Chain A
Amino acid sequence: MEMAYYPGCSLKQSSSPYDVQSRRIFSELGVELIEIEDWNCCGATSAGKIDDFMAAAMPARNIGIAESQGFSEIVIPCSACYSRTLMAKKRLDEDPELKAEINGELSHKIKGSLKVSSILEVLINRIDAGEFTSKITHKFTNLKPVCYYGCMQTRFPDKLPVSDNVENPQAMETILKALGVRAIDWNYKTSCCGASAAVNDQEMAFDLMAKIAGDALERGANCLVTTCPMCQLNFDAHQNAFCEKHGIKDRLPIFFITEIIGAAMGISPEEIHADRRFVDGMDLLKELEQNERKEK
């Protein structure tokens, strides 16, 4: 099966391991991700803060491209890109005038048939289709994760049907359960890490991140799993700084959900660039035992 894929700017740069991992695990699951041609930046939250027209127009062009390439579904692993594209789609569906205005400048016009999916939605569909567990060859022996969704997986600026529980989402827990891992319940799974405040208001972002990481550690977690490249980079790159500021002694490796799945599929962590992180988590990814299921 082929599916349209929008990596977004971050997966081409600082979070390129996430790009490698997404392609690899989806191909193991029988889904080939086809990067849409000549995509552009989705505008992220910045466009929404400066110009509403651009906030719809920038993701609109990508939607038009995916549709013209004949795709019915697009998967967007980055939470920010997913949220902005989904919002743009809603506005275009509801406002034909806006759609016509934007279409006027686009070479690939938007029709409105495309389904915008997050990486979690697609993975859950694979589990429901029964195409997941047969690919899992290894079992973790020492993984005690908390699942961190951040803001943009379940909360949107406008009313949208959300595929998961808004305040207590379960998609990542369900995926980990399929790997035989039990996630630890905690309080901060949809709290905000500060996002771009890590650049422009660092002290505030450090306080927010310390609260989140502090709760995870107090509950006995030894790692944090996320889908958002911005959350991953913030928690990973600034962890020493915010932990020192708030007197937190332990450290928490921050994993993308894709590297956890990859390791459980028996893929070497180095092969999917899981070693490119600030807070080392290689031991956890290598403490595996082979499943009996493989011999069957």
Chain B
Amino acid sequence: MTAPLIEIQPELAKPFLQEVMERSGQLLTACYQCKRCAAGCPVGDETHFFTPNILIRAVALGDRETALNNELVWKCLSCYTCGTRCPNDIQTARITETLKKMSKEAGIKPLYPKVKEFHDAFLNCGVRWGRVNEVELMGVYELKNTIREAAAMNYKEIFNELRTQAKLGASMFKLNRMHFGFETSKGRKEIKALYKKAKEKKKAASSTGSV
């Protein structure tokens, strides 16, 4: 398999590159394609050769569409190996994290919706109760997953997923590693106030056009 072709869009390149650099805090223009990031990336085998250096190139060339929705953005585990090894200190995992957010803001349907659903469920559970309860997290995540698969009528997919998780849950229960008490923090009011602030900040940033 070969890497996907990147479309060169010079007129779009500058503002897009600028935005990604500002939001991620990474100096993408310092990349000279040495590919040390690619050599160390644990998901390199899985992204069909869409390695961190290619992502940086896509952003630099202004291919917004490819940059916002590709294998690497959604498969990246944020293990930070690429950035640790980069001779120019570019932390590509910060770039994938930024592109995830930009992709969400642009309303793009993610290539791997399960990844997005998991992280959304995690943060929502954490903000709602102040602590993440694993049983609730898995419930919310599986519910989101099931609704999406049901809409696409992938019933076999739903059955397999729920069977795998139920099996895991049963063996965790046997080992007393499933927790049935409910963990909460009284400080969740403060967390919710902070979350409200985060949303206001996002709104203000998008209305002025820069973040």
Please report A residues at the B interface, Cβ cutoff 8 Å: 9-10, 12-16, 38-41, 43-54, 57-58, 61, 65, 101-102, 105-107, 151, 155-159, 166-167, 190-192, 194-197, 199-202, 204, 207-208, 233, 237, 276-278
Nearest chain A residue, comparing its CB with the CB of B167: A241
Q: Are the C-beta atoms of B185 and A40 separated by less than 8 Å? A: yes
Q: Are the C-beta atoms of B123 and A50 separated by less than 8 Å? A: yes
State in angstroms the CA–CA spacing of A157 and B76 once bound together: 13
Interface of B is mostly: helix
Between A and B, how many residue pairs show CB distances below 8 Å?
A: 175
7 A-B pairs within 8 Å (CB atoms) are namely A15-B177, A39-B185, A47-B126, A51-B198, A157-B83, A196-B118, A200-B114
Whether B163 is near chain A, meaning CB under 8 Å from some CB there, is no
Residue from B172, B187, B193 having most chain A Cβ neighbours under 10 A = B187
Q: Are the C-beta atoms of B79 and A14 separated by less than 8 Å? A: no
Q: Find A201's partner among B75, B94, B120 (CB 8 Å cutoff).
A: B75
Whether B130 is near chain A, meaning CB under 8 Å from some CB there, is yes
Q: Are the C-beta atoms of A157 and B100 separated by less than 8 Å? A: no
- Distance in angstroms from B183 CB to nearest chain A CB is 6
Q: Find A41's partner among B45, B131, B164, B168 (CB 8 Å cutoff).
A: B131
Please report B residues at the A interface, Cβ cutoff 8 Å: 25, 42-43, 45-46, 75, 77-81, 83-84, 89, 91, 93-94, 97, 100-101, 104, 112, 114-115, 117-120, 122-123, 125-127, 130-134, 138, 141, 164, 168, 171-172, 175-179, 183, 185-188, 190-191, 193-195, 197-198, 201-202
Contacting residues, chain A, for B93 (C-beta < 8 A): 157
Q: Find B133's partner among A9, A43, A207 (CB 8 Å cutoff).
A: A9
Q: Find B126's partner among A40, A167, A199 (CB 8 Å cutoff).
A: A40
Nearest chain B residue, comparing its CB with the CB of A198: B168
State in angstroms the CA–CA spacing of A158 and B86 once bound together: 12
Nearest chain B residue, comparing its CB with the CB of A39: B185
Contacting residues, chain A, for B186 (C-beta < 8 A): 38
Nearest chain A residue, comparing its CB with the CB of B134: A13
Contacting residues, chain B, for A43 (C-beta < 8 A): 123, 126
Q: Are the C-beta atoms of A237 and B171 separated by less than 8 Å? A: yes
